[in-house]
Structure 1
Amino acid sequence: MPRRLEGLRRPVRPEHALLAIPIAWIIAVSVIDALAPPNIHLSPLLVAAPAITPLFGGPRAVGLVAALAVIAQTIIGLLRDPEQLLSSNDQAQIIALVLVGTALVIFCVLRERRAKELAQVRYVSEAAQRVVLPPLPKEIGPLRVASLYLAAEAEAQIGGDLYAAARTASGTRLIVGDVQGKGMTAVNDAALLLGAFRVAAHRPASLGDLVSYLDRSVCWDLMEPGESGRYGETFITATVLDIPDRDGRVQMIACGHPPPLVLRDGRPATMDTLHPAPPLGLGELTHPRYHVDSFPFEPGNLLLLYTDGVTEARDSTGTFYPLTERITGWMENDPDAFLDRFRRDLLHHVGGHLNDDAVMIVIERAATPRA
């Protein structure tokens, strides 16, 4: 008995409720046609019922409505002339309803098959993204961290946004970047750079030496065998930071990537680099000398790292997301609370759908460093 009552309490699915619209249309057309004068024929309007059903129903719903329309057309023809089975006009209309219904059922079957394939592709792409970019730990040494990867809604085109963190003897090193292009190729390129970063970031080398190593890794890892003349066709913008555990200035090398922001009491400040470097992967062409910039990051401040999917997000009028303007006055000190508000505000600006992947990382330095 409880199982039967549980089944009776199941909510009605929206598409099932909407089936009342074409069925009511069939009934209304049949009744009006039966009551109308003999010279007025409304039965051709029955084709509208199966035509609108694919808007909210699947192939079974379309087939049911089409069958009801055929039955209604048959009944109308028989009532119009009881002595004759069906006129040639009624037969033509029945054949037309059968053809339209069959075509719509085939369309719905193909549409559902396409939707399942797309859902599977999205699942695989998201799984690949999670393998390449696992969330950052909530705590990294004395730092409290909140990270988020927002995938674009355009089909299953995942991008090459990347981030990673590594501990050293005196602090934490982070990288945030964006690979040129999209799709699985960009994910593969991001994985190559992240692998190089995780191998080298722990070593007791300077930040400039680390970025030089990453640039060489990108140049050689992204180059196909025998394509030594194609340098520069693939590159990765990135910002690499070294945050000391104790109070001290954060060291930074920005390689063509949007600069980070530091929020102090709700006032954001852009940490522009005085010595900008070219994107990773162009070192063989430019031979850069990496200069380290620095900026203060005190306990209680929030450090915001992001990719251009944030600053280049557009609203319905084409206006870019004004990052500094929007976050001015935000007093959330907890990284998770700040990131949640940041996400909601960004999605509200674009109307709920991003055109490009976006990475957002919020970092807070604890007042008392932990062992």
Structure 2
Amino acid sequence: MTAAGRFRHLSRWGRWVLLLPFLGVVVVFILDRTSNNPNVTFEPALTAGPALAAVVSNSLWFPLLVGGVTIGEAFGIAAEDRTMSASVHTASVLAIVLISAIGAASVMLRNRQERALADARLVSEVAQRILLRSIPERIGPVRAAVHYAAAAAHARIGGDLYEVVQTRYGVRAVIGDVRGKGLAAVETAAAILGAFREAAHQEPALDKVAAWLADSLGRALHENGGEHEGSDEEFVTLVLVGVRPDAVVEIVNCGHPAPLLLRRGTPVRFLDPPANVPPLGVLEPEDVVAPILRLPLQEEDRLLLYTDGVIEARNSWGVFYPLAERVPDCASADAPAVVLDRLHEDVRRHVGHQLGDDAAMLLLQYAPVPTPGTALAVRSVVHPRAVHDRSTPQGRTD
């Protein structure tokens, strides 16, 4: 966008801010004219004008414009003040010229950095769309929503991962947390997600999916002769969830915080695993044997999956966010996406600032849609005589 275009897009408040350098020049002029001491001059203070112009505007020409106005004002002050030495006037003018040039250069560098940041954000957004794909509002019998916030400044992806897919074995989901941050964590998350998207469709048993992910993670951490930085200490905590067609949920937990079951009319319940299993990457892939927790689902049951960035968020007193206590108030909304938005805002209020760790939340709500066959069976039970009458030829009696 050109400088004129930026100026047109400034808000009303932004346009008033542009008047500050000119206001500063006027103030210096008034102070100099009202000064009763003939040996004191305020001309050197005019250098604040172009310096302030470089701060309040992203236009390259603005510090130069303010510098030109300021130089004219400096000559006006010198013409009025006959007692000011030529050396002071010359030094003031040279300082104004130098600061105007530095201000223009700083604006140019700042604009270049902002463009680079915008490009990085665009790449991050594209990477997120590929790595962390958007979750549909409904996947089979499940309504789903996800909320993800990366800890890295200006980043959209980090070490947390999630995915929900529809398979022949039902709806399957994963949420996980890669140890560490940065590019290495993103690479590991990509390896886990790629393996899950394949294994979820191939393996009928959910524990076998976990073993598949452990094997893929081992290869990803030690590929290329072990050049992956920190591969000896890297691991992944995750939870696998499978909603079977017979309304039974299966959960496999590998060192991750236990999901929460939100069932209407009952207290919030942690779905702890039958046995503790370490995160993936701690054991050899062939030693990963994760038990499966099975639970019958009722309609409108909700499963809240989350990463430790949520429950380890602390306020200024060092108190962790009490998720189990606060989630009932946030879960009063009908839409899963609204529930997660409320939870995220509640966590931010608890912390008082941006979260210091990646935080992901995935909400799955069991809400099966009646199939046409089921609806026909219901109508047949309610109106059996009507069905019999339609099958009997008109005018015939038995």
Q: State the TM-score, normalized to the length of structure 2.
A: 0.81
**Cα separation, 1, equivalents of 2:77 and 2:317:** 52
**Cα separation, 1, equivalents of 2:75 and 2:146:** 63
**Cα separation, 2, equivalents of 1:158 and 1:145:** 20
Measured after TM superposition, the shift of residue 23 of structure 1 is 0.8
**Cα separation, 1, equivalents of 2:247 and 2:51:** 69
Residue aligning to 2:92: 93
Residue aligning to 2:395: none
**Cα separation, 2, equivalents of 1:276 and 1:241:** 16
Cα distance change on mapping 1:369 and 1:292 into 2, 3 Å: farther
Matches within 5 A, 1:212-291: 212-227=211-226, 232-248=232-248, 250-265=249-264, 267-284=267-284, 287-291=287-291
Identity %: 37
Residue aligning to 1:79: 80
Measured after TM superposition, the shift of residue 224 of structure 1 is 2.3
**Cα separation, 1, equivalents of 2:319 and 2:67:** 46
2:302 pairs with 1:323: no
Contact 2:142 2:368 in 1 (8 A): no
SS at structure 2 position matched to 1:190: helix
Cα distance change on mapping 1:65 and 1:319 into 2, 3 Å: farther
Measured after TM superposition, the shift of residue 152 of structure 1 is 3.1
**Cα separation, 1, equivalents of 2:186 and 2:14:** 38
Cα distance change on mapping 1:115 and 1:204 into 2, 3 Å: closer
Contact 1:129 1:187 in 2 (8 A): no
Residue aligning to 1:361: 362
1:327-352: CA deviations, max 9, x gaps? 13342233133123223323333446
* Of 165-174 and 114-123, the range deviating more from structure 2: 165-174
**Cα separation, 1, equivalents of 2:357 and 2:300:** 31
For 2:193, the aligned partner's letter is L
**Cα separation, 2, equivalents of 1:211 and 1:235:** 14
* Of 250-259 and 166-175, the range deviating more from structure 2: 166-175
Matches within 5 A, 1:1-371: 12-37=11-36, 38-58=38-58, 59-81=60-82, 87-152=86-151, 154-156=153-155, 158-227=157-226, 232-248=232-248, 250-265=249-264, 267-284=267-284, 287-329=287-329, 330-351=331-352, 353-366=354-367, 370=371
More helix by percentage: 2
**Cα separation, 2, equivalents of 1:224 and 1:256:** 24
**Cα separation, 2, equivalents of 1:228 and 1:22:** 54
Structure 1 stretches lacking a partner, 5+ long: 1-8
Measured after TM superposition, the shift of residue 13 of structure 1 is 4.7
**Cα separation, 1, equivalents of 2:134 and 2:26:** 56
Measured after TM superposition, the shift of residue 237 of structure 1 is 1.2
For 1:201, the aligned partner's letter is A
Measured after TM superposition, the shift of residue 35 of structure 1 is 3.5
Contact 2:214 2:285 in 1 (8 A): no
For 1:121, the aligned partner's letter is A
Contact 1:254 1:273 in 2 (8 A): yes
Contact 1:118 1:156 in 2 (8 A): no
Who wins on radius of gyration, i.e. which is larger? 2
* Of 360-369 and 206-215, the range deviating more from structure 2: 360-369
Measured after TM superposition, the shift of residue 11 of structure 1 is 7.1
**Cα separation, 2, equivalents of 1:13 and 1:313:** 38
Structure 2 stretches lacking a partner, 5+ long: 1-7, 373-398
Cα distance change on mapping 1:285 and 1:135 into 2, 3 Å: closer
SS at structure 2 position matched to 1:63: helix
**Cα separation, 1, equivalents of 2:108 and 2:283:** 52
**Cα separation, 2, equivalents of 1:10 and 1:239:** 47
Measured after TM superposition, the shift of residue 60 of structure 1 is 2.8
Measured after TM superposition, the shift of residue 316 of structure 1 is 4.8
Contact 2:147 2:341 in 1 (8 A): no
Measured after TM superposition, the shift of residue 367 of structure 1 is 5.5
Contact 2:145 2:362 in 1 (8 A): yes
Measured after TM superposition, the shift of residue 252 of structure 1 is 1.4
For 1:16, the aligned partner's letter is R
Measured after TM superposition, the shift of residue 204 of structure 1 is 4.7
**Cα separation, 1, equivalents of 2:41 and 2:219:** 75
Cα distance change on mapping 1:300 and 1:156 into 2, 3 Å: closer
**Cα separation, 2, equivalents of 1:194 and 1:153:** 20
**Cα separation, 1, equivalents of 2:328 and 2:127:** 35
Contact 1:302 1:333 in 2 (8 A): no
For 2:80, the aligned partner's letter is L
Residue aligning to 2:385: none
Q: State the TM-score, normalized to the length of structure 1.
A: 0.86
How many equivalent residue pairs? Answer: 360
Residue aligning to 2:387: none
SS at structure 2 position matched to 1:223: helix
**Cα separation, 1, equivalents of 2:356 and 2:121:** 15
Measured after TM superposition, the shift of residue 368 of structure 1 is 5.3
